[in-house]
Structure 1
Amino acid sequence: MKKYLILAASTLLLAACSEKPGYEITGSVSNADLNGQYVYLYEYGVKDAVPLDSALVQNGAFVLKGSQNSPALRTLRFSEEAVEPARVAPGENAPFMATFVLENGKLTVTLDSTSTVSGTPENDAQKELQGKIKGLRSGIDKLIADMKSGDEKLIEQAEAKYDEIDQKITEAVVNYILAHTDKQTAAKNLYDFRYNIGEDQQNEIISKADSTFKAVPGISYMIDHLNVLKKVAVGQKFTDFEMPDAKGEMHKLSEYVGNGKVVLIDFWASWCPPCRAEMPNLVKTYKQYKSKGFDIVGISLDSKADAWAKGVKDLDITWTQLSDLKGWQNGGAALYGVNSIPHTLLVDKDGTIIAKNLHGQDLEDKIKEVLK
C-alpha cells in the first residue's frame, strides 16, 4: 500500500512540474452599459492588429487566462462601437482602456474613466507613476479656464502654474524612465512624452537602454530622429536643400544662409496656432534688425497654396518663404528632424547653427548678442 501511495504522490508531483506557468487577469468595469460587451486583448503598437484574446463582461467583471513566454506590452479595450476612442494627455490610459505589461502572474485590471493595472512589480510601478501624474494634473482644468478668462494677470499666473506642473510631470517621468531602462513601460513613457523630454535627455536615456527597451514600438523611430538631430545640432553647419517659393521658382537654402548674415530658419504653417501667435514677434524683430545683418527664411509645412498665401498676407510676413506643399512630409523639415512647429534654428554668418527654438525676448537677446 505504501508503495502505491509513493507512486501516486510522484505522479502528482510530475503533473504539477509539467504545468506551464500562466497569467490570470481579473478585471472590473465600472460602466454597467458595458455588460454584455467583449473586452479585447491586443498587441501594443500594431496598427489594425487582430485581437489576441477576448472576454465577455458580466456583472461588471471579466477574466482572461493564458500563458506568456516573456513580458510584453498589451492593450485591453472595447470595440469602437462600444466605447468611442478618446484622446488623453501623455501618461494616461484612455477611458475603459489600459496598456500594460502582460506577464505570468495574477493581474488586476480596473477599466474606468482612468484605468489601472496592478499585480506585478512593473505594472505596480507604472500604476504608481500614473497616480503621481494624475495628482499633479488635478488642477489643470481650472488653469485652462483661467487662461481663457481674458484677464491678463490671471492668464499670466495660470500659464506660469501650468508650466510648473508640466515640468514636474516631465521630471517624474524622466526619473521613472532612468530607473527602468530595461523595462517596456519606461520605453512607452519615453515615446508618449517625446515632445516634453529634451533632446539631450532623450539621448542619455537611449544610451542606457537595453534591447528590450529599444524594441518597443516607436523607439526605433525616436532613435532615427535623434540621429537626424545630431547632424543639425548647435555647432554644426546648416544642411542645404532646394525648395520652391510661392511662384514655383526653385531656391537653395544656401542662397540665403551662410552668406554673411545671421539668419533664422523658421519652420511654420498657416494652420498652426502657436506659429501664428509667435509671428507678430518675428515681424517686429525682422523690422528692427533686417538692416543690421539679420534675415529670416520661412519654411512652410502647409499643403495648400492658397492657405499658405493667405497666412503670409494676413500675418504681414515679408521675408523669404519656401514650401513644397507636402505638409508634415516637407523635405526640409525631414532633414532638420522637425516633428513639431514652430521650430526655429538661428544660423551665424558663416552657416553655423548657434541656437534652436528661441522665441520672443530670448530670440531678440541672442540676435543682439551675435550682431555686435
Structure 2
Amino acid sequence: MKKFFAFAAFALLVTACSQQPEYKITGTVSDTNLNGNYVYLYPYGPDAVPTDSILVENGSFAFSGVQDVPQLYTIRFAEGVVEKQRVGTGEVAPYTALLTLDNSKLSVELSETPSVKGNPENDAYYALQTALKQLRADSKQIFEDARSENKEIVAAAEKRYEEMEEATNAKIKEFLYTHADKQIAAKLFSDFRYSLEENERREIVAKASEAFKSVPGIDKMIEHLEILEKVAIGKKFTDFEMAGLDGKMHKLSEYVGNGKVVLIDFWASWCPPCRADMPHLVSLYKEYKGKDFEIVGISLDRAEDAWKKGLEDLHMTWPQLSDLQYWKNAGAALYGVNSIPHTVLVDKDGTIVAKSLRGEKLEAKLAELLK
C-alpha cells in the first residue's frame, strides 16, 4: 500500500512539472459578416509576421501557447478584410486588439470599440481607452457648439475644449508615469509624443524600464531627446553653416551671439501654419528690428524657386538660410526639429531662452527681453 501511494505521489509530481504555464486567448467578433475569415496574432512593430492564425467561426476564436516574457502583440484581420477607419491619436482601430501577452487567460472582443481583459496591464490600458473615447465624444459636441453664431456660446465652447484637452493630456500623463515599466505604455508614449513637453518626455524615459525601451520606435525617440538635450533651454546655441539667398555659405554665428536677441525660425514655403504665422512675424520684425533684434529663417524647402517666391509673397526681409534638403535639412537635424513652424529664441550672448513660441507668447517674451 505504501508503494502505491508513493507511486501516485510521484505521478502527480511529474504531471504538475509537465504542465507549463501558457496563455489562453478567447475572442469574440461582433460583426457576423467576418465569420469565415482568419484573425492573426502579430508581435507589435513594423514588418512583423504573424506567429499564429485562427479561423473565426460562430463569432469566436481562440489562441493558446507559451509566452516566456510579456510582449506587446496585436490581433487583427488580414489587410482589406475590415474597412479602414480614421481613429484618434492613441486609439485602437476597429476590429483590432493591442495587448500585452503573457501566460494569462485573456478575453478579447473585436468590435468597433475593441477591448482586452485578463491581466492588470491590459485592464488599465482599455479603461484608459474608454475614458479617452468619452472625452473625444464630448469634444465633438463642443465643436458643434463652436459653429454657433452666438459669440458667448463660441467662447464657452472654446474654453470647454481647452479644459477637455487638459483633461485628456492629464490622463495620458498619469498612465505613462504609473506604467513606465510596461510595453503598452511605450506604445502610448509614442502616440502622444507631440502632446508631451520635452521635460515630461525626459522624465518618463528616466523612469522607463528596459521592456518599455525595447518597444519598436522608442529608441528613435530617445535619440531625439538626446539631440534636444544639446539645444535645451539654458544651453548655448549650436552653430552650423548653410547657403544664404546670395548663394554663399553663412554660419549661424554671423547673426547669433553677437549682442542681439535672435529668433531662429524653422519654416517652409509649403507649410500652411508657417505661412499663417508670417504676418505676425513681419509685424514683430518691424517693431523690434532697430532694438537689437534679428530673425534668421531656416527653410525646409526643396526647390529654390518656391523658397524665393515664398519670401517675396510673405514679405520676409530678414536673413535666410537653406540647404534645400526638405526634412533632411542639416540645421533642423541639429536642433531636433520634427515639425514646423518651430522657433528657437536666443538671447544676446547666445543662450537659448525659449523654444516653440508663437503668437502672443512670443510677443510677450520679446517685450520682456527687449525692454
Place the TM-score, normalised by the shorter chain, in its bin. Answer: over 0.9
Aligned to 1:111: 110
Contact 1:245 1:323 in 2 (8 A): yes
The alignment's TM-score, normalised by the length of structure 2, stands at: 0.92
Aligned to 1:205: 204
Aligned to 2:164: 165
Contact 1:41 1:53 in 2 (8 A): yes
Stretch deviating more after TM superposition (108-117 or 67-76): 108-117
1:330 maps onto 2:329 in alignment? yes
RMSD: 2.2
Contact 1:92 1:114 in 2 (8 A): no
Stretch deviating more after TM superposition (265-274 or 332-341): 265-274
| TM-superposed deviation, 1:270 | 2.6
Deviations 1:50-84 (A, max 9, x none): 11111111222111111100100111122222124
1:333 alignment partner AA: A
Stretch deviating more after TM superposition (4-13 or 227-236): 4-13
Structure 1 unmatched runs, 5+: none
Aligned to 1:286: 285
Structure-to-structure mapping, 1:38-53, within 5 angstroms: 38-45=38-45, 47-53=46-52
Structure 2 unmatched runs, 5+: none
Deviations 1:80-100 (A, max 9, x none): 221244442222101211211
CA distance in structure 2 between the partners assigned to 1:218 and 1:152 by the alignment: 44
Stretch deviating more after TM superposition (316-325 or 97-106): 316-325
Secondary structure, counterpart of 2:223 in structure 1: helix
User: How many residue pairs end up in the alignment?
Assistant: 371
Secondary structure, counterpart of 2:160 in structure 1: helix
Aligned to 2:31: 31
Stretch deviating more after TM superposition (261-270 or 7-16): 7-16
| TM-superposed deviation, 1:150 | 7.6
Contact 1:77 1:97 in 2 (8 A): yes
Aligned to 1:81: 80
| TM-superposed deviation, 1:5 | 6.7
CA distance in structure 2 between the partners assigned to 1:167 and 1:181 by the alignment: 21
Stretch deviating more after TM superposition (102-111 or 178-187): 178-187
Stretch deviating more after TM superposition (317-326 or 98-107): 317-326
Contact 1:28 1:62 in 2 (8 A): yes
| TM-superposed deviation, 1:118 | 1.1
Stretch deviating more after TM superposition (275-284 or 166-175): 275-284
Secondary structure, counterpart of 2:73 in structure 1: strand
Secondary structure, counterpart of 1:21 in structure 2: coil
CA distance in structure 2 between the partners assigned to 1:79 and 1:247 by the alignment: 54
Secondary structure, counterpart of 1:291 in structure 2: coil
| TM-superposed deviation, 1:328 | 1.9
1:158–1:322 distance in 2 versus 1, CA, 3 Å: farther
| TM-superposed deviation, 1:363 | 1.0
Structure-to-structure mapping, 1:211-226, within 5 angstroms: 211-226=210-225
Deviations 1:120-172 (A, max 9, x none): 11111111111221222222223344556687665554443323212211111
Structure-to-structure mapping, 1:120-135, within 5 angstroms: 120-135=119-134
1:275–1:31 distance in 2 versus 1, CA, 3 Å: farther
